[in-house]
Structure 1
Amino acid sequence: MENQIKPLDPVAIDLGGLSIKWYGVIIAIGVVVALLLALRESSKRGLDKELYIDLLIWAIPISIICARIYYVVFQWDFYKNNLGEIIKIWHGGIAIYGALIGAVATAIVFARVKKISFWQLADIAAPSLIIAQAIGRWGNFMNQEAHGAETTRSFLESLHLPDFIINQMYIEGTYYQPTFLYESLWNVLGFVVLLILRRTKIRRGELFLSYVIWYSFGRFFVEGMRTDSLMWGDFRVSQVLAILLIVVSLAIIAYRRMKQNPPYYMADKFGDVPKRK
């Protein structure tokens, strides 16, 4: 039976010399869903929708570049002898934490230029970010990557997974743990949690910091199961960063509550935000 299993075609559209892969299509879907959710919430909070679109125009390319730089830095032993491969992002090799670092840095600068609160922008973006990540992991599924250790078909069947997932986890004669799925489901649950939290007495900035804590907590455990981790000596980079982000986020929440007393999210409005001229 296993010999007859064929992986799903990673190419969504083949236009002769140009191939559009499912990975890119799924990532694009995630971005669109995230944008629509952010625009809806930003309208409720009194933010000009065009400002959020302007932010994405800058954040998307910068995030991709940072995701690539992050990956290259921790795979430098390979790239230092293959410098021409650095720009060939289509060969694979981007890291979500690098993308998030780029997005956050862009949002901080953008907020300063536009004279609006970074924390308000980040709170609106938090549910959008985590659901986009949940969707994006299915791009890894189509590429048969970001999987865990070897396993058996019987184990996968015991998880009550549909056949199309089980069959896609059969890679070069071996079944693997669908860690892409574990992280995707964790992110979907996180999306629900964030939607609930933003209706509570959570303070400005804490919805975004809750997203960072939630994602990092789940990523720490999922990363420990993966076989393709970026390493820093004997440590998995994403696990080290996950712990650091959790500690820093909790410290920021505590500090801001003790020293700054930020307003509640539900009562927090942008007010009169300058319109585009």
Structure 2
Amino acid sequence: MAAVVASLPSPSRNVIEIGPLTLRFYGIMIALGVVAAVWLAQRRWEQRGGDPDDIGRIAVWAVPAGLIGARLYHVITDWRSFQGRWGDVYKIWEGGLGIPGGMLAGVLVGIWAARRLGLDLPGVIDAVVPGLPLAQAIGRWGNWFNQELFGGPTDLPWALEIDPEHRPARYATEATFHPTFLYESLWNLALVALLVWVDRKRVVRPGSLIAVYVAGYATGRLWIEAMRIDPASHILGVRVNIWTSLIALALSLGWLAWRGLRTDEADQQAATPVAETAEDAG
């Protein structure tokens, strides 16, 4: 491999020690992602005429469910790595959260919470959805601190330096790799912008913005997952996460084609925000 002209360094440590308290950057980044997502959802819900505290009430249920679902997905799809050390299943601060599982569990519990509060479900969904990839974009930086989930060797200017102890055995002599965490973070930020634009232009019916999110995330995950070299479970020689992304992409595109896209003026009027409708009436 040619000499590397420039590269991105990896952090020398992944924890902060404050007296007896030890904080891991992986957990800090996830927490920051959650805070950012809740903030954005509250702002968007308020613009629709809703009470921003409603989002907080939903998050109290949806966030823990999402974390549990993400961990369960990782454990189920990578169960071989836990053989002989099942006591490590709960150690989420060491890494190992499967976004598909977190997304599914968090959304389902969030829908339940919104219904329990008697809220307009399509409106809540459309307000919350752009915050999901925002949380993922921030949370992915936890992988940078852990020096994990990177791609194959590369000498590109933005190649990521990985310490010897974190390199796969077959790449022990390589020093720099594709920063797939960065690729996914940037992809998710672009997805946030796309979702806000689609919602503003009212391209899809109320409540269907989540299908755009799933399709967008699955598309990005397909090519990013194909670059990764970390150990993973396979089905028919293909990584499980690629199968999951293909299924999610097919279902989301199917939904959009079936009933997600707007087709007439009535659909446009149905999506008029609560606050805008009240203003017109006044």
Bin of the TM-score, shorter chain as denominator length: 0.7 to 0.9
One-letter identity of the residue aligned with 1:133: Q
Given candidates 132, 137, 140, the residue that maps to 1:134 is 137
Query: Aligned residue for 2:217?
Result: 215
Alpha-carbon distance in 2 for matches of 1:209, 1:6: 36
Query: Aligned residue for 2:92?
Result: 89
Query: Aligned residue for 2:163?
Result: 171
Give the 5 Å matches for 1:108-123.
Answer: 108-123=111-126
Give 1:53 deviation, angstroms: 0.2
One-letter identity of the residue aligned with 1:224: A
Is residue 2:271 matched to residue 1:269? no
Alpha-carbon distance in 1 for matches of 2:261, 2:16: 54
Do 1:150 and 1:177's aligned partners in 2 also have CA atoms closer than 8 Å? yes
Give 1:6 deviation, angstroms: 7.5
Q: Deviations over 1:64-86 (max 9, x none)?
A: 11111111111222334332222
Query: Aligned residue for 1:196?
Result: 197
Alpha-carbon distance in 2 for matches of 1:71, 1:108: 23
Give the 5 Å matches for 1:2-13.
Answer: 7-13=10-16
One-letter identity of the residue aligned with 2:78: Q
Given candidates 24, 35, 40, the residue that maps to 2:38 is 35
Query: Aligned residue for 2:184?
Result: 183
Give 1:14 deviation, angstroms: 0.7
Give 1:212 deviation, angstroms: 1.0
Do 2:24 and 2:93's aligned partners in 1 also have CA atoms closer than 8 Å? no
Q: Deviations over 1:232-254 (max 9, x none)?
A: 33221221111111111122223
Give 1:215 deviation, angstroms: 0.8
> Aligned pair in 2 of structure 1 residues 11, 224: CA closer, same or farther (>3 Å)?
closer
Given candidates 247, 251, 254, the residue that maps to 1:251 is 254
- SS of residue matched to 1:224: helix
The count of residues paired between Structure 1 and Structure 2 equals 258
Give 1:225 deviation, angstroms: 0.3
Do 1:229 and 1:236's aligned partners in 2 also have CA atoms closer than 8 Å? no
Query: Aligned residue for 2:148?
Result: 145
Alpha-carbon distance in 2 for matches of 1:257, 1:149: 37
Do 1:63 and 1:102's aligned partners in 2 also have CA atoms closer than 8 Å? yes
| 5+ long unaligned stretches in structure 2 | 165-173, 277-282
> Aligned pair in 2 of structure 1 residues 252, 117: CA closer, same or farther (>3 Å)?
farther
Do 1:10 and 1:23's aligned partners in 2 also have CA atoms closer than 8 Å? no
Identity %: 33
Alpha-carbon distance in 1 for matches of 2:195, 2:202: 12
Is residue 2:230 matched to residue 1:225? no
Deviating more after overlay: 82-91 vs 59-68: 82-91
Q: Deviations over 1:141-168 (max 9, x none)?
A: 121112001223xx2x1xxx4xxxx5x5
Alpha-carbon distance in 2 for matches of 1:72, 1:227: 18
Give 1:88 deviation, angstroms: 2.6
Alpha-carbon distance in 1 for matches of 2:85, 2:15: 29
| 5+ long unaligned stretches in structure 1 | 272-277
Give 1:270 deviation, angstroms: 8.7
Do 1:219 and 1:242's aligned partners in 2 also have CA atoms closer than 8 Å? yes
Do 1:149 and 1:226's aligned partners in 2 also have CA atoms closer than 8 Å? yes
Alpha-carbon distance in 1 for matches of 2:261, 2:41: 29
- SS of residue matched to 2:130: helix
Q: Deviations over 1:162-200 (max 9, x none)?
A: xxxx5x523315211111111111111111111211111
Give 1:257 deviation, angstroms: 5.2
Query: Aligned residue for 1:275?
Result: none
Do 2:27 and 2:93's aligned partners in 1 also have CA atoms closer than 8 Å? no
RMSD: 2.8
Alpha-carbon distance in 1 for matches of 2:139, 2:91: 20
Is residue 2:107 matched to residue 1:107? no
Provide TM-score, normalisation by structure 1: 0.83
Q: Deviations over 1:49-105 (max 9, x none)?
A: 222101111111111111111111112223343322222323332111111111111
